[in-house]
Structure 1
Amino acid sequence: MSERVADSTIKGFLYQFNKTILEIVNADDEDVITVEGVVEDVDVLSASGELEAIQCKYHETKEKFIPSLIFKPLLQMAEAYDRNPSARIKYTIFIYVPNEDHCQKDIDPSILNSALATTDQSLSKIVSRISGKFDKVEFLKNTRIVFGPSLDEIECSTKAALELLGIQGSDVDTLLYPNSIEKIAKLSSIKDETERQITKAKLYTYLSSATHTAISKWTLALRNRSEILKNIKQQLSSYFSQNSRDRYFYIDKNEIDDYEEKVVVFFGNYIKKYYSKPSHVTAPTFIINDNIEAIRDLEFRLYTKGIKANTGLVGNSFVVDHFFRDPMKKINRNHIEEREFDLRLLAMDSEQEAINHRKGDDLYLVCSNTPNNIELTDVNFYQVGISSFNELEYVIGIRNSHE
């Protein structure tokens, strides 16, 4: 996928997430919003039983609106209506196209007729599922198109709406807004529809208890990326100033752009900063989503750099107590002359349950999604879903810049 297409895709999702947050914050207390609903991107069920099904489209590269831009969502809505014409559903296509005034319009019957007559193969499959009894007139009475604002504009509106929630002591730009985006992104990935439902009260409760900024590809795609990274660095600084913290890092190697090239350098930088003095009392534990063979190769690469890793292996067998033992040290005049090992290195793919055998003080999840086998009870955990070791070193205080 080209960088331009990838950027466009991310913006499309952010546009949808912002619209979802606005619907939640502006909803009545009894309304239930379903993220990635049964019908469309956002389903808003009011207390009266009426459902508004909203599909979002973001087309910043188009110079003007042309009907074909809404053929797919319009046909998908027509199919949903045809399956259940008696349902109390209002259909909304929420779309951004440059040079279009923000407004609401009825959809002209000629646009629907053109969509139904399309020769596009992928759209023709949808048309083939619409019955001959489909009532176009009634469908269009319940369908509208809303030309929305740009991504930057809707972001400003979303932040203003979150401000009105009145959550005291929480910065909107670097805490409430990115955490709201991350919350909706996570809900959208859940398979069970009932677990994708949220209310204004639930969002309020979630944001009220948030003390750290969740970092993921979605929050780092926001305009204030540098400000968010700076904020999470400040949030974590108190923990990394304590020499006695027992720290675990789970790293998804597939989400780090420079993993193979920089992982050994990162471990070396971490040891130099946080495990090089007698006052640094606890060896760090790093868990990688890889097999034991790859971890042993990494162990050798570290050894050639003068860094000794404990992989928990006794011969060819993994022994969990051997993995979690404390390293023997030889200290002379406040200087570590020799240490049995500098870090623990666990192959998640080979030993999935070992991470839960002994829990540390802090668990840093360098990933977008937490593996199901990691237990998060009784441990401080932080989502640090960055994409490079430079950014990771920055937020945990090893370097002064994330560039």
Structure 2
Amino acid sequence: MTDRTAIDTIKGYFYQFDYAISELLELDLDTDTIIIEGIEDVDVSTATDELAIQCKYYAKTEYNHSVIAKPIRLMLDHYKEVTNGNKKRINYKLYGYFQSGQAKLTLPIDTIFLKDYFLTYIENKVKHCHHTKHNLSDAELNDFLSLLTIDISALEYQLQVSKIITLLMKQFNCQAFEAEHFFYNNALKVIKDIAVEGDIAKRKISKLEFLSKINFKRVLFNEWFITYKGESKLFAELRSQYFTGLNISPYERLFIIEIPNTNYLRAEIKDLILTISKKWSKLSTREPQPFCPYIYLHNILPQELLELKKELFSEGFQFIDGFDFDGSDFNPKSILKPANSNNSIKIKILNKFEHIDLTVKEITKTKEIYQFYNTTPFFDIKYQNVKQVEIQFSLLTDIKKII
């Protein structure tokens, strides 16, 4: 598979996932459900209707009857099982986007058109009549058509995404950034995880369950969302949303960062500390309220933290950690010591997890907490009137690209 073909295939999956998300958001009742990869790509079940939807994205393809003929024949296979009493009677829908050629199909179609253009085909130089194979009468084919909806003027890929963002903004009463980076990001992960389940029962989800699964404000490093958005663009948007401003306010900012168990170098951590300090400190004599950030490195080994501090100290980088003397207990009042041009304190290091809460409760100024986690959020204490941002990352070096 060429790179371009791979991209087109991935986009086709995205389109189906997005369509499933759209269908879920537009269900009338919380108890209504969909199944991913059931009878068709998306099966919708409500109190009054059962609908199996074949969803296709042909961005570079001109519409021809043959393109949708096989999906319609597969739907007719299911309908035959219905007439035999083996399957439940349902409605069918073919939903597809094409680059052009939609005018070739005039709707609605009749049984003659159905047989001539969708059910009759040549394979290995042999003519096949799908309706004859199933021994279906014209009356039965007409009944099948009464259950079938064909829509070849589906929304273009980005327009469908825009529709979803609008639906999410309405659902969660939020702005576009939150709708896209939180709820749509979450939704993609939920649908992707369901789609790969082997048990069809696990590929079924109600509107209520779906909304509860996506209703949290946390930026996930979801590979599907990264593929959709693009890593560089995502990092730029996060930076613009949270870490860019002409005038940085003199707030008390805490950066709490999970250190991965593997795949990191001490130099990366040190570089990250220096970057955070440089961007989020103001110690100039001209600064009316000088300030510097706090940092906590989650899961770092005590000896590794000690060696890191030694290196920073040996390089003349000034920091405090809330310990007044050797053998003393952590003193949150001590770590609140104001940074300024005289003492040149460039960062405040929190050694232990429990020091975060002690420090936050001691701070009386405006506070912001930025949690960067590698796997699962590790700091779940919520404070009133404190801005708290949770961002998942893959590599430590990703954080520098965001802040």
Q: TM-score, normalization: structure 2?
A: 0.60
Q: Are 2:33 and 2:205, in contact at CA under 8 Å, matched by a contact in 1? A: yes
Secondary structure of 2:70's match?
A: helix
Counterpart in the other structure of 2:184 = 177
Query: Given residue 100 of structure 2, which amino acid in structure 1 is its aligned partner?
Result: N
Separation in 2 of the partners of 1:245 and 1:377?
Answer: 10
Change (3 A) 1:377 1:130: farther
Change (3 A) 1:272 1:40: same
Secondary structure of 2:222's match?
A: coil
- Aligned-residue offset at 1:39: 0.7
Counterpart in the other structure of 1:106 = 108
Query: Given residue 217 of structure 1, which amino acid in structure 2 is its aligned partner?
Result: E
Counterpart in the other structure of 1:371 = none
How do 1:249-264 and structure 2 match up within 5 A?
Answer: none
Are 1:364 and 2:374 an aligned pair?
yes
How do 1:253-332 and structure 2 match up within 5 A?
Answer: 267=265, 270-274=268-272, 326-327=303-304, 329=307, 331=310
Counterpart in the other structure of 2:56 = 57
Counterpart in the other structure of 1:97 = 98
How do 1:147-296 and structure 2 match up within 5 A?
Answer: 147=152, 148-168=154-174, 171-208=178-215, 210-222=216-228, 226-232=232-238, 247-248=259-260, 267=265, 270-274=268-272
Separation in 2 of the partners of 1:153 and 1:42?
Answer: 19
Separation in 2 of the partners of 1:226 and 1:245?
Answer: 21
Counterpart in the other structure of 1:83 = 81
Q: Are 1:32 and 1:46, in contact at CA under 8 Å, matched by a contact in 2? A: yes
Secondary structure of 1:132's match?
A: coil
Secondary structure of 2:40's match?
A: coil
Separation in 1 of the partners of 2:266 and 2:30?
Answer: 53
Q: Are 2:54 and 2:94, in contact at CA under 8 Å, matched by a contact in 1? A: yes
- Aligned-residue offset at 1:178: 2.5
Measured against aligned partners, the alpha-carbon deviations of 1:330-365 in whole angstroms (never above 9, x if no partner) come to 9489339xxxxxxxxxxxxxxxxxxxxxx9997514
- Aligned-residue offset at 1:47: 0.8
- Aligned-residue offset at 1:91: 0.4
Separation in 1 of the partners of 2:45 and 2:295?
Answer: 54
Change (3 A) 1:159 1:362: closer
Q: Are 1:35 and 1:196, in contact at CA under 8 Å, matched by a contact in 2? A: yes
Are 1:393 and 2:397 an aligned pair?
yes
Counterpart in the other structure of 2:69 = 71
Separation in 2 of the partners of 1:99 and 1:393?
Answer: 44
Separation in 1 of the partners of 2:129 and 2:40?
Answer: 15
- Aligned-residue offset at 1:57: 0.8
- Aligned-residue offset at 1:202: 2.5
Q: Are 1:43 and 1:53, in contact at CA under 8 Å, matched by a contact in 2? A: yes
Query: Given residue 93 of structure 1, which amino acid in structure 2 is its aligned partner?
Result: L
Separation in 2 of the partners of 1:15 and 1:38?
Answer: 17
- Aligned-residue offset at 1:167: 3.4
- Aligned-residue offset at 1:104: 9.3
Q: Are 2:119 and 2:130, in contact at CA under 8 Å, matched by a contact in 1? A: yes
Change (3 A) 1:180 1:143: same
Query: Given residue 91 of structure 1, which amino acid in structure 2 is its aligned partner?
Result: Y
Task: Please say which structure displays the higher CA radius of gyration.
Answer: 2
Query: Given residue 14 of structure 2, which amino acid in structure 1 is its aligned partner?
Result: L
Change (3 A) 1:281 1:204: closer
Measured against aligned partners, the alpha-carbon deviations of 1:16-53 in whole angstroms (never above 9, x if no partner) come to 122112211111115533242421111111112x2011
Counterpart in the other structure of 2:149 = 144
Separation in 2 of the partners of 1:383 and 1:270?
Answer: 17
Are 1:132 and 2:142 an aligned pair?
no
Secondary structure of 2:54's match?
A: strand
Which of 104, 116, 121 pairs up with 1:118?
Answer: 121
Separation in 2 of the partners of 1:156 and 1:332?
Answer: 49
Separation in 2 of the partners of 1:212 and 1:124?
Answer: 56
Q: Are 1:175 and 1:213, in contact at CA under 8 Å, matched by a contact in 2? A: yes
Change (3 A) 1:132 1:179: same
Separation in 1 of the partners of 2:311 and 2:98?
Answer: 69
Secondary structure of 1:214's match?
A: coil
Q: Are 2:34 and 2:44, in contact at CA under 8 Å, matched by a contact in 1? A: yes
Identity of aligned residues (%): 19
Query: Given residue 159 of structure 1, which amino acid in structure 2 is its aligned partner?
Result: I
Change (3 A) 1:31 1:68: farther
Query: Given residue 90 of structure 2, which amino acid in structure 1 is its aligned partner?
Result: I
Measured against aligned partners, the alpha-carbon deviations of 1:240-273 in whole angstroms (never above 9, x if no partner) come to x8677552357xxxxxxxxxxxx7xx64652442
Q: Are 1:79 and 1:126, in contact at CA under 8 Å, matched by a contact in 2? A: no
Are 1:335 and 2:314 an aligned pair?
yes
Counterpart in the other structure of 2:21 = 21
Query: Given residue 151 of structure 2, which amino acid in structure 1 is its aligned partner?
Result: V
Secondary structure of 1:60's match?
A: strand
State the number of aligned residues. 303
- Aligned-residue offset at 1:9: 0.8
